[in-house]
């Protein structure tokens, strides 16, 4: 493992919301943070991911956070082929491809931390979340398998499932009245702040975590426990 100032973390979807908060938390702790733009790596494009992996094949990322995701809400009979393909590609296939590309270097260095970001909709669900829930349950399947496969190499793998979070997108897509109504349904009485989710991810991704692996950690203010 490298000294603190040289540690490097790869974060997808790091330009806004929870991903941005995660990037800021690691950067504040002295990590070199890599958050590829869509121009550098388009997660919807297999060839783009492969090109990025080839260009960076010699890089060692101490931490990988698969955060990027999309959520198209539709009832089962209305799901389009494009929605199905895009959600599967971005939410599930792309993370697997990135881990395929970069876990080899983690093995060489006998150290790694991987955090896959899922959702409360990988724990409970509701109308219109068929494909999204499938991908987020799928990413925890990746976590569960790799936590066993990579443990002998001192690589710990966990899933974080955020609940309702007060991101800029949440504020844009919901009126204050709607946000207040959602908050009433959360036992703690409010949505999470992105920094609160980032703090959990940071713990799982740094050297303080020496034993926790293979877990689906729900950060939802008690929403799924009702």
Residue 50 maps to a domain: yes
By the 8 A CB rule, do 195 and 21 touch? Answer: yes
Residue 10 maps to a domain: yes
Confidence of residue 3 (pLDDT cuts 50, 70, 90): low
CATH of the domain at 59: 3.40.50.720
Residue 38 maps to a domain: yes
Give the pLDDT confidence of 179-217 residue by residue, as tens digits: 999 999 999 999 999 999 999 999 999 999 999 999 999
Q: Does the annotation count 111 as an active-site position?
A: no
- Asked whether residue 22 carries a pLDDT value surpassing 70, the answer given is yes
Q: Would you state the pLDDT for residue 174?
A: 85
Domain count along the chain: 1
Average pLDDT over the chain, rounded to whole? 95
Q: Would you state the pLDDT for residue 2?
A: 57
pTM beyond 0.85: the answer is yes
Confidence of residue 177 (pLDDT cuts 50, 70, 90): very high
CA distances from 198 to 24, 158, 163, 171 (A): 9, 14, 13, 19
Give me the domain span that covers residue 122: 4-165+195-219
Among residues 52, 60, 132, 211, which one is catalytic? Answer: 132
């Amino acid at each position: 493992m490298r000294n603190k100032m040289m540690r490097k973390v790869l974060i997808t979807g790091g330009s806004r919301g929870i991903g941005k908060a995660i990037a800021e938390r690691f950067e504040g702790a002295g990590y070199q943070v890599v958050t590829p733009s869509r121009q550098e790596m388009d997660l919807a494009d297999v060839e783009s991911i492969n090109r990025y992996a080839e260009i960076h094949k010699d890089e060692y990322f101490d931490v990988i956070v698969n955060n990027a995701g999309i959520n198209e809400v539709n009832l089962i009979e209305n799901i389009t082929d494009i929605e199905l393909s895009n959600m599967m590609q971005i939410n599930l296939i792309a993370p697997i491809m990135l881990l395929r590309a970069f876990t080899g270097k983690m093995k060489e260095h006998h150290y790694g931390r991987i955090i896959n970001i899922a959702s409360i909709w990988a724990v409970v669900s509701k109308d219109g979340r068929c494909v999204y829930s499938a991908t987020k349950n799928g990413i925890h399947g990746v976590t569960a398998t790799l936590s066993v496969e990579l443990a002998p190499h001192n690589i710990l793998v966990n899933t974080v499932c955020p609940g309702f979070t007060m991101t800029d997108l949440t504020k844009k897509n919901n009126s204050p009245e709607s946000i207040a109504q959602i908050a009433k349904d959360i036992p703690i009485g409010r949505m999470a702040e992105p920094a609160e989710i980032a703090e959990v991810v940071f713990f799982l991704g740094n050297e303080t975590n020496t034993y926790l692996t293979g877990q689906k950690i729900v950060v939802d203010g008690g929403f799924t426990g009702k």
